[in-house]
Structure 1
Amino acid sequence: MAPTGLLEVSLSSGLSCLDDEQVVSRARAGCPQATEFLLRKYKGFVESKARSYFLAGAEPEDVVQEGMIGLYKAIRDYQSDKLTHFRTFAELCITRQIITAVKSAIRLKHAPLNEYLSLQRSFGDNEDGCLMDIVADTRGNDPERILFERQFAQCMNGRALEDLSDLEYQVLQGYMDGKSYETMSYELGRPIKAIDNALQRAKRKAGQKLCELN
């Protein structure tokens, strides 16, 4: 039986021969190596995108972490039948994640809009669209997605979640499912400020683990 390290290298080599859409298909089918392969492959792209944005009161690495979470969501939600290349979809999801962080900071801290870089600019090759024209939510509770969520945790070998408290884990899961602060506050019986604090801690811990992928 081949050592685990050699097996992982072999799998990565095999994945590098596939196009992104094929690798995503494997990731969504439950292959943790495919998920980690994409996270590693697109990490530099996320860092490049993150450098284009400034979020008052945050470190540059915080923006990268948000982008990595957006990349994970792109892998999770990509639908090949939409005739969109994965790279394009990933760019939108990464940007949407950063925009969400900006909007949350504005709403919670009541900061003036001019403290943040304008996001009303074109993206990719589409000069007629702007970054706020985000693709429709494709999440849904389909079995394939549930399997992928499970496999993602395995892909990270528990590293992204093992340090989270119960509240941080619950809030992060709600956040990934698109729940509002108000909804999570009601469901968990905690004030909105406590929800925000838990989410920031959880994203920092999970995002840091994602950023450690080399």
Structure 2
Amino acid sequence: MSEPGKNIINDTILSSAQSGDNKQTEALIRQYRNVVEAIAAKYINSPLEYDDIIQEGMIGLLAAIKTFNNSKGAQFKTYAQTCINNSIQTALRKFNRKKDIPIGSVIEYAEEEIPEENGVISAEDYYIAGESVSMLANTLKENLSEYENEVLRLHIVGCNYSEIAKRLSKTPKSVDNALQRIKKKLSTVNLKTDKYN
């Protein structure tokens, strides 16, 4: 059985996804979903629901796709793991601030368990990954309606159009329209800045 995300990322697919090709972005999300799930499993004893952990991990994966720069020397999988982990940890810290639950030990355990394959990520890339996740999360909150956020959340955790429609008491066509709007908004998100390139 192959390891999660072991297939080497195709530079053409990644480049197309970074240029706004939604089909290629979805292909990468499908390919790396098991990486998100493997990292999310390390947080199974955290106060967050598993679906919420997966959602935060997927936001991290989207940030990785948007901001990865192969000229930095790190492999995409290593960078994606960092973004996914940072996204989940950010959500846990926010939850912790609201509930006053100590989660430092959960984060430390998860960090120890995540291997950094194919090279070590640089301090600069680690910082960029964290900043990118925060920027993407804020952009989603600012630009998506409450309905679109809920559709995206359910889509990210693996619900199909019919399941989303049923849960939200909407038609599959309404869900499809919402996802098209979300994809359009995501394609215009530019997380890269001169500071990071």
User: Smaller-chain TM-score range?
Assistant: 0.5 to 0.7
8 Å contact 1:56–1:115 — kept in the other structure? no
Instruction: Show the counterpart of 2:128.
Output: 137
Instruction: Show the counterpart of 1:207.
Output: 153
Provide the rounded CA distance (Å) in 1 between the counterparts of 2:150 and 2:8: 32
> Following TM superposition, by how much is the alpha carbon of 1:54 offset from its aligned partner in structure 2, in angstroms?
3.1
Q: Do the aligned partners of residues 81 and 133 (structure 1) sit closer, same or farther apart at CA in structure 2, a change above 3 Å counting?
A: closer
Provide the rounded CA distance (Å) in 1 between the counterparts of 2:84 and 2:72: 18
The TM-score normalised by the length of structure 1 is 0.54
> Following TM superposition, by how much is the alpha carbon of 1:175 offset from its aligned partner in structure 2, in angstroms?
3.3
Provide the rounded CA distance (Å) in 1 between the counterparts of 2:55 and 2:127: 23
> Following TM superposition, by how much is the alpha carbon of 1:110 offset from its aligned partner in structure 2, in angstroms?
1.5
Provide the rounded CA distance (Å) in 1 between the counterparts of 2:129 and 2:90: 17
| 1:111 match: secondary structure | coil
| 1:135 match: secondary structure | helix
Residue 83 of structure 1 pairs with residue 73 of structure 2: yes
1:175 aligns with one of 123, 131, 137 = 137
Q: Do the aligned partners of residues 114 and 176 (structure 1) sit closer, same or farther apart at CA in structure 2, a change above 3 Å counting?
A: closer
Q: Which runs of 5+ in 2 are unaligned?
A: 1-6, 161-197
8 Å contact 1:27–1:34 — kept in the other structure? yes
1:124 aligns with one of 104, 109, 115 = 115
Across the aligned residues of Structure 1 and Structure 2, the Cα RMSD in angstroms comes to: 4.1
Provide the rounded CA distance (Å) in 2 between the counterparts of 1:134 and 1:35: 21
> Following TM superposition, by how much is the alpha carbon of 1:123 offset from its aligned partner in structure 2, in angstroms?
3.6
Count of residues in Structure 1 that have an aligned counterpart in Structure 2: 147
Provide the rounded CA distance (Å) in 2 between the counterparts of 1:55 and 1:68: 19
Q: Report which of the two structures shows the higher radius of gyration computed on alpha carbons.
A: 1
- Cα deviation, 1:82-121, whole Å, max 9, x if unaligned, reads 1111111100000000100111111122223368453452
The TM-score normalised by the length of structure 2 is 0.58
Instruction: Show the counterpart of 2:36.
Output: 46
Instruction: Show the counterpart of 1:13.
Output: none
Task: Tell me which stretches of 4 or more aligned residues in structure 1 moved more than 6 Å.
Answer: none
| 1:42 match: secondary structure | helix
> Following TM superposition, by how much is the alpha carbon of 1:65 offset from its aligned partner in structure 2, in angstroms?
1.2
The amino acid across from 1:109 in the alignment is: K
Provide the rounded CA distance (Å) in 1 between the counterparts of 2:148 and 2:101: 23
8 Å contact 1:66–1:97 — kept in the other structure? yes
- Cα deviation, 1:97-155, whole Å, max 9, x if unaligned, reads 010011111112222336845345264247xx89x997122699xxxxxxxxxxxxxxx
Provide the rounded CA distance (Å) in 2 between the counterparts of 1:65 and 1:211: 6
Q: Do the aligned partners of residues 122 and 173 (structure 1) sit closer, same or farther apart at CA in structure 2, a change above 3 Å counting?
A: closer
Q: Do the aligned partners of residues 110 and 205 (structure 1) sit closer, same or farther apart at CA in structure 2, a change above 3 Å counting?
A: farther
The amino acid across from 1:43 in the alignment is: R
Q: Which runs of 5+ in 1 are unaligned?
A: 1-16, 141-171, 185-197
The amino acid across from 2:33 in the alignment is: K
- Cα deviation, 1:166-214, whole Å, max 9, x if unaligned, reads xxxxxx98733599xxxx8xxxxxxxxxxxxx99x97654222122278
